[in-house]
Amino acid sequence: MRLLLVAIVFLALVPASLAQRVRIGAPENIAVLPLVALEEGFFKEQGLEVEFLPLMTGKISMDSLANGSIDFGCIVDSNVAYISFERTDIKVVGAISVRYDDQLIVNKASASEGKGLKGLRVGYLPATTSQVFLERLLDSKGLQMSDIRPIPLQPPAMRFALAAGSVDGVSIWQPWANQIVAAAKDRYQVFSNRIGLYDSRVFLAVGRSSAENSILISKVVRALIKAEAFLTDNRPKVIELMSRRLGMVKSDVDLMFEGAKFRVQLTKEGVGLVSSIASHLHKSGAKRTVSGGSPEVRRLFDGSFLKSIDSRRVALD
């Protein structure tokens, strides 16, 4: 008993500097589980000292993983599809959510002048969910990207371009979408994502610097699984947290969560979504592999960490 007490006291006195330091980067709107794990101390329970770096887009997370400025990142399905053409040093551990917060926001006056969306100047961010959502929304209306005038823009620029009339619409996600609509609600028509149109996945990815550290990866995954359970039981508290982080009122965060699923898993549906996006990029000529063949998407995914923790979370067959 005395030895046990000594051990407990020793662990309590271990300085934080001995904790393993980890850098996680992501846009805050897609990093719900990492932010919950950070807020509730689940990373600390795993002996990790996490520095969270807010990034503007999943593509920036992807690039940061590639250059080693972060250890783990939250990236979306379109990011994974793009890296499947060129990178093998980024490993995808699993999905952490399915989200539906992408929107096409169109100036009502511009839309009424023509035939719906056809011919409109639309701001979007290539290689992100902004592009995939826009393409799928257009397809649902019998249109293609060639039927509009797509204009590549970063999220902050989209807001000002739409307000200034430089574009007729923008394909964007939260919290940017909320900021645009809140400023002039009656001016815009909003086309929202929905279940079945684009079931966008957010993935946890690890960079080359930590890809071989199985113990570290397992610790991060365990913390996120605990955050998942916490969110299920404490949704109002998580909505309050995300309201603070995103600068959105709680009712809007609640709408952003509508239909979303927060679960750490790796499934054939998630991998299939990435494969379909990669296939589209290949067939359209937007991306090419060095060999000229189709990208090998499956090689980027590694479900071994999740499987060792809870095999029910991996369903690739």
Rounded to an integer, what distance in angstroms lies between the CA atom of residue 298 and that of residue 302? 9
Residue 12 lies in a domain: no
Of the residues 192, 226, 259, the one at which a domain ends = 192
pLDDT at 8: 46
pTM of the model: 0.87
- pLDDT tens per residue across span 41-75: 999 999 999 999 999 999 899 999 989 999 999 99
pLDDT at 14: 47
Asked if residues 230 and 262 have their Cβ atoms less than 8 Å apart, the reply is no
Q: Are residues 163 and 217 in the same domain?
A: no
Q: Are residues 143 and 162 in the same domain?
A: yes
Mean pLDDT within 118-142? 93
Q: Are residues 175 and 224 in the same domain?
A: no
The region of weakest confidence among 149-163, 247-261, 280-294 is 280-294
- pLDDT tens per residue across span 64-116: 998 999 999 999 999 999 888 876 789 999 999 999 999 999 999 887 655 68
- pLDDT tens per residue across span 204-237: 999 877 777 889 999 999 999 999 999 999 999 9
Q: Which of 91, 73, 83, 82 is nearest to 30 (CA)?
A: 73
Of the residues 138, 173, 192, the one at which a domain ends = 192
Q: Are residues 73 and 216 in the same domain?
A: yes
Alpha helices (runs of H) in the chain, residue ranges in sequence order: 2-13, 32-39, 42-45, 58-67, 77-83, 108-113, 129-140, 155-164, 176-183, 214-233, 235-246, 250-257, 268-284, 304-309
Coil, strand or helix: which one is 96? Answer: strand
List the beta bridge partners of residue 150: 122
Q: Which of 237, 99, 107 is nearest to 174 (CA)?
A: 99
What is the number of structural domains in the chain?
2
pLDDT exceeding 90 applies to what percent of the chain? 68
pLDDT score of 10 more than 50: no
pLDDT at 292: 65
Residue 205 lies in a domain: yes
Q: Are residues 286 and 214 in the same domain?
A: yes
Average predicted confidence (pLDDT) for the chain: 89
Residue 14 lies in a domain: no
Residue 125 lies in a domain: yes
Q: Which of 102, 110, 114, 100 is nearest to 162 (CA)?
A: 110
pLDDT score of 9 more than 60: no
Asked if residues 220 and 48 have their Cβ atoms less than 8 Å apart, the reply is yes
Residue 15 lies in a domain: no
- pLDDT tens per residue across span 256-284: 898 899 999 999 999 999 999 998 888 87
Residue 37 lies in a domain: yes
Rounded to an integer, what distance in angstroms lies between the CA atom of residue 96 and that of residue 175? 19
Its domain, for residue 71, covers 20-99+199-315
pLDDT at 179: 85
**Block residue for tokens 């209306």:** 141
Mean pLDDT within 173-201? 89
